[in-house]
Amino acid sequence: MQLADHPARRRLSAALENLSTTFRGMTAHPDEHNCECHWGSPEEIALLKTPDVELDPDLLRRTWQAVDWTDHAAVLRRILPQFATDLVAGRVNPRYDALEEAGYSLARGRWQQWPEDHAGPVREFLHAWWAQSLTDPDAVVPAHRVLVLCAEASGTLGPWLAAWEQHTEPLSDRRLAEAAAEWEYELLGDGLPWRVGWYEHDEEKMRADLVTWLLDHAVTRLRESNAPEDLQHRIRLLGLTDEDRWTDPHWPGHRY
């Protein structure tokens, strides 16, 4: 994938390059280990203790998905440049729950507690990728899936939704309509449209923040951008509760 000729692509390209520079030479802890039967071979563990060697896709996947590293942060720093590149390129399946898991992996590494010279490049990568997903017509991963990863990685929706408010281009409006269409079923059933994996994150607060933002910001934006009328009504219904919601003439008949 070529990241050029578009402001958001240039920013993302710079962020990926900064990750590569920042985490060059990083390795897993010398005493790191994992189950040979269920994770992989000693030779594969040795690769994680060898800096800057590209991992094959299956090894990379098993590495970031594993939940039982002794020092997950060190493992994450070892793989971050390649991991981030694969995320942006869509090689981590964006359609199911893989991006939730990827965000969970970042959260397990507690990257926000790293020194700023390490945390800063990760933060900039997430913000750059989010902006690119909203504004670049050639973005590979759907914006609503990028949002899931960013929210799970950071434990909050606030900065990501605030950034979305600043992007008012027609493409960003379409991304909003796509996201609302993906989310409305779960939200109308009082659920969050994705699974929160990290125990320190507050799923109910995340859902409440998303609903509040949709009602305060997205309802008007969907109307002004001529989103489908039935979608506008479904988002409006989030402002009603219980019987008022179910008996509204525009209730879509969802069953839970």
| Mean of the per-residue pLDDT values of the chain | 95
Res. 94: pLDDT tops 80: no
How does residue 155 score in pLDDT terms, banded at 50, 70 and 90?
very high
Q: What is the pLDDT of residues 107-129, one digit of tens each?
A: 999 999 999 999 999 999 999 99
Q: pLDDT at position 3, please?
A: 47
Same domain for 98 and 40: yes
Same domain for 1 and 81: yes
Q: pLDDT at position 96, please?
A: 63
Res. 60: pLDDT tops 90: yes
Res. 71: pLDDT tops 60: yes
Same domain for 111 and 29: yes
Domain-ending residue, one of 106, 139, 154: 154
Same domain for 215 and 132: no
Same domain for 125 and 208: no
Res. 4: pLDDT tops 70: no
How does residue 198 score in pLDDT terms, banded at 50, 70 and 90?
confident
Q: pLDDT at position 109, please?
A: 97
Q: pLDDT at position 199, please?
A: 87
Same domain for 145 and 97: yes
Domain-ending residue, one of 154, 182, 216: 154
Domain-ending residue, one of 130, 154, 178: 154
109 and 73 in contact (C-beta within 8 Å)? yes
Q: pLDDT at position 1, please?
A: 44
How does residue 95 score in pLDDT terms, banded at 50, 70 and 90?
low
Mean pLDDT of 226-253: 97
Mean pLDDT of 80-109: 91
Rounded Cα distance, 82 and 134, in Å: 23
In terms of residue numbers, what domain contains 135? Answer: 1-154
Mean pLDDT of 238-250: 96
Same domain for 252 and 228: yes
Same domain for 245 and 232: yes
Q: pLDDT at position 28, please?
A: 98
Entry pTM = 0.94
Q: What percent of the chain has pLDDT over 90?
A: 91
Tally of structural domains, the chain: 2
Same domain for 75 and 9: yes
Same domain for 139 and 33: yes
Mean pLDDT of 47-74: 96
Same domain for 204 and 122: no
Same domain for 161 and 150: no
